[in-house]
A and B are shown apart, each in its own frame.
Chain A
Amino acid sequence: MTDYIARNRALMRFFVLPTIFLTVVLLGGVRVSSDTRDFVFLAPPLITLILAALLMVLFVRAGALDLRGWIRSDQPTLTNVSHSLLLVAVFFASAQAFNSVLPESGLFNWLFSFFFLWTLWNNQFAEFDARRLLRSLVVLFGTAFVLKHLLLAGFYGPSEGWLKKIAGVVLQGISLGTIDLPAYAPATGYISFFTLALYVAGLVLLTPAPDRHPPADGQKLIEAQPQKLSPDEQLEALRELVRAL
């Protein structure tokens, strides 16, 4: 049983998590042109790298990532290299997650960047734990996604949507030339949704440190009253105690 646990954890750490975060890196900058249906690959702008750096600091502060747990001198070099690569992937995945929900140009790009920066900067001084931080991030990315891919895409899209008509009536006579956005095909929104879902899933699966996991069955047994355990369960509890020592 312990073998299975160790193997599954290793698969998660060395295969699944890097794949998830690298896929986010790949898809975060993908847009689909509305005219030609061609792919457009947008490398992460500088601001997203700054936002990702702030987010990484936040992860460390909230205990969602324990850097000293991931990279240690008492581990083999190969393990440290793998872990470093995973952390780099988390950083770039964060940058690309921001890239995915950030309007590409114009006033909205500045506004979104400012609000992301403001939120992350404020969060640096707030009391956070890993779970709260994750919830806060889901709300942050969810809101940005809705604003960009539903509201703004509806407003600036090539088709005459209801939002465009309402805005046309409300903003009659006001020039929107400076806040114009490039129009992308609806597939862009789907790609962005999948990217963000994958990013959040990756963060849920990411443990603060490689050896820190949710309590296994054995640990739960230790916490239970020993006199109520069967001989097999007592043996399992004993194994868990030895492992912990």
Chain B
Amino acid sequence: MQLKLIQSGGLAWAIIYAAFIIWIYATEPRTLREVATNSQVAAGTYQVDQEKFNNALGMFRREQFRAARDEWSRADPGTQDAVTQFYIAYSFYREGWGRVYDDDTLFKQGLEAVARAISLAPNQSLRVDDPDLQLHTAAELKAELEQGTEQSLGDLNPLKVFRKRK
């Protein structure tokens, strides 16, 4: 009986350990903190640090976009929250937007962030009802960012300087 118990326990332990190894090589965490974050994600207990999120939102409203992004990345270290990723993308948009021309590098980073937000959102659809923003859905933000990176004859239009940042 005892041998049977050792055998069953050993088998269960080996399977769990092997699954953990496969998971760790699949998720490739870079630090022990990331291991902990990934474990929370896998266990379904992952939550964004709300205090840091709100701090970042304050910075975003004060147009401190880089600082806001840093704080958001600390609030969502596992890049698992759709809303946080949406705001990160929005900060790239606002920082990269220019009256004469847009910063392609920042817009591309914004596109990556908004793609993450869309993939994380339920049904791939995300709406953020923030009165401070003019683009409320991830799809609108994505379209705006894509438009900013595309080259067209409209770029030569001098009236472009009168457009407004959203």
A residues bordering B, Cβ < 8 Å? Answer: 6-7, 10-11, 13-15, 18-19, 22, 25-26, 29, 36, 38-41, 43, 78-79, 81-82, 85-86, 89
| A41→B28 contact, CB < 8 A | yes
Q: Which residues of B contact A15 (CB under 8 A)?
A: 6, 9-10, 13
Q: Which residues of A contact B24 (CB under 8 A)?
A: 26, 41
Q: With A26-B21, A85-B15, A85-B18 in contact, is A18–B2 under 8 Å at CB?
A: no
B31 sits at the interface (CB 8 A): yes
| B3→A10 contact, CB < 8 A | yes
Query: Apart from A10-B7, A25-B21, A78-B7, what 18 extra A-B contacts exist at CB < 8 Å?
Result: A7-B2, A10-B3, A10-B6, A11-B10, A18-B13, A19-B13, A22-B14, A26-B21, A36-B30, A38-B31, A39-B28, A41-B25, A41-B28, A78-B4, A85-B11, A85-B18, A86-B14, A89-B18
In the complex the two chains form, what is the Cα distance from A81 to B14 in whole Å? Answer: 11
Q: Which residues of A contact B11 (CB under 8 A)?
A: 14, 78, 81-82, 85
B residues bordering A, Cβ < 8 Å? Answer: 2-4, 6-11, 13-15, 17-18, 20-21, 24-25, 28-31
Q: Which one, A38, A82, A85, contacts B30 given CB within 8 A? A: A38
Rounded to whole Å, the gap between the CB of A80 and the closest CB of chain B is 11
Q: Which residues of A contact B10 (CB under 8 A)?
A: 10-11, 13-15, 18, 82
Rounded to whole Å, the gap between the CB of A143 and the closest CB of chain B is 27
| B3→A6 contact, CB < 8 A | yes
Q: Give the interface centre of A25, A41, A43 by most chain B CB atoms within 10 Å.
A: A41
Q: Which 8 A-B pairs have the closest CB atoms?
A: A14-B10, A38-B30, A18-B14, A10-B6, A15-B10, A22-B17, A82-B11, A41-B28
Q: Which one, A22, A29, A41, A82, contacts B7 given CB within 8 A? A: A82
| B3→A85 contact, CB < 8 A | no
Q: With A38-B30, A85-B14, A85-B15 in contact, is A14–B9 under 8 Å at CB?
A: yes
In the complex the two chains form, what is the Cα distance from A156 to B18 in whole Å? Answer: 34
Q: Which one, B7, B8, B25, B29, contacts A43 given CB within 8 A? A: B25
In the complex the two chains form, what is the Cα distance from A18 to B11 in whole Å? Answer: 9
Q: Which residues of B contact A26 (CB under 8 A)?
A: 20-21, 24
